[in-house]
Chain A
Amino acid sequence: MLKILKYSFYDLMRSRWSYVYFAFYLLLGVVLLFLNNDLSKAVITLMNVIIVLVPLIGTIFGVMYYYNSKEFTELLLAQPLKRSSIFLGQYLGVAISLSMSLILGLGIPFVFYGLFMSNAIWDFSLLLITGTFLTFIFTALAFNIALSNENRIKGFGYAILLWLFLAIIYDGIFLMSLIIFEDYPLDKLSLVGTMLNPIDLSRTLILLKLDISALLGYTGAVFKQFFGTSLGLIISFAALTLWVVLPVLRITMKAKKKDF
């Protein structure tokens, strides 16, 4: 598996897209810092970008890579290799290279700007950690979709739909259900609703760490009580990890049974 991981990783590192992705984040980081002149403000703007773009790029890139390297995959399948290690290797190669572009692209300008001297370092690390989680989650989901669909167009369609659902539609449904059930106590419901969507979970985690929670009055306090404690933080990260583990498990299951 490690060999395949290494191959996929180097293959992607050499590819143009990784550089474009890396350059995009580098540019974003530099521009934000020079326009804002304020680390914590820049972190908020970055959050908006990360919770929307990282999942989108993770999904599209994952699906794209799978379909593009399909012939090579078939070649590998003819060798005496475990199926799970082939697909996991490819998955990890994509996810790790994407995460690296993200971390380096954003990290370099911030480090040069004096991140280690600033107290925004924890907010920033949280931002990168959730960004990495989101990359892993959405690449895994993308591999699932690609494995289940032979037709590329369909695969891409589902991938976009998945992103659209989790990034936008889910929040719409969530909002509607909160309004419909407004006569009932909603604290638990809104916590559960947040946990179920990795994008919402990441957004809430970052927002609450940025101390905006203090500005949100009563309900903000309830969420802060949950997410602000170490237990809440552990549960949130456990939920994010679960979001990585479950799709990865499905990748191995699906790969075992699939006909090529």
Chain B
Amino acid sequence: MSNVWSKTITVCSTCTVQTIHEALQQAREGDTIFVKKGIYKEANLKIDKSITLIGEGLPTIDGEAQGEIITVGADNVTIDGFRIINVGVSYTTDYAAVRVVNSNGFVIQNLELEKLFFGIYLQKSNHGKVLNNKVQGEAVTEFNSGNAVHLWYCKNVEVRGNDVRNVRDGIYLEFSDDITITDNFSKNNVRYGLHFMFSNNNQVINNVFETNGAGIALMFSKVMEVRNNVITKNWGTAAYGLLLKEVNDVNLINNKFIENTVGITVEGSNRLVYSNNDFTSNGYAIRVKGACYENEIINNNFLYNSFDISYNGKINDNKFESNFWSNYTGYDLDKDGIGDVPYRPVKLFSYIVNRTPETIILLRSLFIDLIDFSEKVSPVFTPDDLMDENPRMKRIDHDRNKGFI
């Protein structure tokens, strides 16, 4: 990018160049602009050359709610170390703190975004990186808030180490393929922590999603890898840890679902592999809404969930194998660590609750325990082939870091 002829421009209140706007006009391809600490009240900064824009001591760019703040329209642009505040809110245009349009090789890192509408908006841009940014929004409702990191028709982008809070969707992908999303922290977002629409071949690894409207929503996508994530405390009337709708060929491995209203809601999704996950203290661990075929649920821990699995129909084409169920009451006479009687994870009561949600008030009553028990002994309403033939007697110790570097 930069070569021996490239020069550096320094911006500060006492320098010859006092505004970033001016520096951008003076700069040529390959130049570096250093911005010293201070407050710069500028908006609509357009970067149309391959330059490196570096903030020293976290200078603030205040957009004064006039609209977009930085727009990148050139390849190989780096933006590093700014605090960007006051993006304009509009109901017709998606104003962003940083927008990248039709560009390759961008690096956007160490930004702190506050009082924003959209945060980092990538549009038809490929081979870039979005690293270690902090986004703190003030979203209350869905319709007048934006997303922290928004990818639209992008390819091969790395989104790593970002901290996104209080926005609509923490990270949003639409028509974007081959994206790696790692080590992000997504909290208190109004809608979803991470949202995929029509995006394929993506990897979601080592992220934490906490108290969002829903942790991760995967919709209309295929061939994905969801690994080592922690999805927790997504509570509410329509809250899920992970929402899977019309997705195929997804691997869900080594994730932790803790204290969600619903751990996973899955609908119309086929050939999914759920393995080595921990489902702990959820209302429902997995809620299957129908049209899900050839899924495998293997080697997971189901710990103290109100309902382990909930099913709508009587047909089952999914495989449950070698999981640990804390509700399992069988025995292991041959001491091979595998229970001798199969476990039926679907309770009759979960059917009743599906049909008449108000009956949930009878949860843990003796009568319900009795009918669940009789259904367990001789299944009438639940799919009789839906069972784990080899339930484990001991909890599986998942090492989340093993085999993963």
Binding site for B on A (CB under 8 A): 41, 47-48, 51-52, 167-169, 171-172, 174-175, 178-179, 182, 186-187, 189-190, 193-194, 200, 203-204, 207, 212, 214-221, 223
Q: Which residues of B contact A178 (CB under 8 A)?
A: 356, 358-359
Pairwise interchain contact B367-A219, C-beta atoms closer than 8 A: no
Pairwise interchain contact A216-B283, C-beta atoms closer than 8 A: yes
Q: Which residues of A contact B359 (CB under 8 A)?
A: 175, 178-179, 190
Confirm or deny: B363 has a beta carbon within 8 angstroms of a beta carbon on chain A.
yes
Smallest beta-carbon distance A39→chain B, Å: 14
- Complex Cα spacing A187 to B370, Å: 24
Q: Which of B15-23, B26-34, B212-220, B235-243 contacts A (4 or more CB under 8 A)?
A: B235-243
B339-379 CB contact bits vs A (8 Å, 1 = yes)? 00000000000001001111111111111101000000000
Q: Which of B44-52, B86-94, B124-132, B259-267 contacts A (4 or more CB under 8 A)?
A: B259-267
Pairwise interchain contact A217-B237, C-beta atoms closer than 8 A: yes
Q: Which residues of B contact A48 (CB under 8 A)?
A: 364
B264-300 CB contact bits vs A (8 Å, 1 = yes)? 0000000000000000011100000000000000000
Interchain CB contact (< 8 A) of A174 among B238, B259, B362: B362
Q: Contacts A182-B355, A212-B306, A214-B261 known; A219 to B366 CB distance under 8 Å?
A: no
Smallest beta-carbon distance A76→chain B, Å: 38
Interchain CB contact (< 8 A) of A218 among B352, B357, B366: B357
Interchain CB contact (< 8 A) of B365 among A179, A200, A215: A200
Pairwise interchain contact B352-A175, C-beta atoms closer than 8 A: yes
Confirm or deny: B304 has a beta carbon within 8 angstroms of a beta carbon on chain A.
yes
- Complex Cα spacing A214 to B235, Å: 6
Q: Contacts A178-B356, A215-B306 known; A221 to B237 CB distance under 8 Å?
A: yes
Q: Which residues of B contact A172 (CB under 8 A)?
A: 367
Pairwise interchain contact A216-B360, C-beta atoms closer than 8 A: yes
What band does the interface of chain B fall in when counting residues whose beta carbon is under 8 Å from A?
Answer: 20 to 34
Q: Which residues of A contact B304 (CB under 8 A)?
A: 41
Q: Which residues of A contact B235 (CB under 8 A)?
A: 214-215
Pairwise interchain contact B357-A219, C-beta atoms closer than 8 A: yes
Pairwise interchain contact A204-B261, C-beta atoms closer than 8 A: no
Smallest beta-carbon distance B402→chain A, Å: 26
Pairwise interchain contact A223-B361, C-beta atoms closer than 8 A: yes
Interchain CB contact (< 8 A) of B306 among A51, A52, A216, A223: A216
Q: Contacts A179-B352, A212-B306, A215-B283 known; A220 to B367 CB distance under 8 Å?
A: no
Which 7 interchain pairs have the tightest Cβ spacing? A215-B283, A171-B367, A186-B358, A218-B237, A214-B235, A182-B356, A219-B357
Smallest beta-carbon distance A77→chain B, Å: 39
Q: Contacts A215-B235, A215-B281, A216-B283 known; A168 to B366 CB distance under 8 Å?
A: yes
Pairwise interchain contact A215-B238, C-beta atoms closer than 8 A: no
Pairwise interchain contact B366-A217, C-beta atoms closer than 8 A: no
Q: Which residues of A contact B260 (CB under 8 A)?
A: 215
- Complex Cα spacing A231 to B366, Å: 28
Pairwise interchain contact B360-A220, C-beta atoms closer than 8 A: yes
Smallest beta-carbon distance A239→chain B, Å: 15
Interchain CB contact (< 8 A) of B361 among A52, A168, A194, A221: A194
- Complex Cα spacing A186 to B235, Å: 23
Pairwise interchain contact B282-A215, C-beta atoms closer than 8 A: yes
- Complex Cα spacing A193 to B238, Å: 26
Pairwise interchain contact B360-A219, C-beta atoms closer than 8 A: yes
Q: Which residues of B contact A174 (CB under 8 A)?
A: 362
Query: Which residues of B, 36-65, contact A by the 8 Å Cβ criterion?
Result: none
- Complex Cα spacing A246 to B357, Å: 33
Q: Can you report 22 residue pairs joining A to B where beta carbons are below 8 Å apart?
A: A48-B364, A51-B366, A52-B366, A168-B367, A171-B368, A175-B362, A179-B355, A179-B356, A182-B356, A189-B358, A200-B362, A203-B365, A214-B261, A215-B282, A215-B306, A217-B239, A217-B283, A217-B360, A219-B357, A219-B358, A220-B283, A221-B236
* Nearest B-chain residue to A220, judged by Cβ: B360
Q: Which residues of A contact B352 (CB under 8 A)?
A: 175, 179
* Nearest B-chain residue to A182, judged by Cβ: B356
Q: Contacts A179-B355, A182-B355 known; A216 to B366 CB distance under 8 Å?
A: no
- Complex Cα spacing A167 to B364, Å: 12
Interchain CB contact (< 8 A) of A171 among B239, B261, B358, B366: B366
- Complex Cα spacing A182 to B358, Å: 9
Pairwise interchain contact B358-A190, C-beta atoms closer than 8 A: yes
Q: Which residues of B contact A207 (CB under 8 A)?
A: 363-364
- Complex Cα spacing A190 to B352, Å: 15
Smallest beta-carbon distance B367→chain A, Å: 4
Pairwise interchain contact B363-A216, C-beta atoms closer than 8 A: yes
Q: Which residues of A contact B366 (CB under 8 A)?
A: 51-52, 167-168, 171
Interchain CB contact (< 8 A) of A217 among B261, B361, B364, B370: B261
- Complex Cα spacing A168 to B371, Å: 11
Interchain CB contact (< 8 A) of A204 among B355, B358, B361, B367: B361
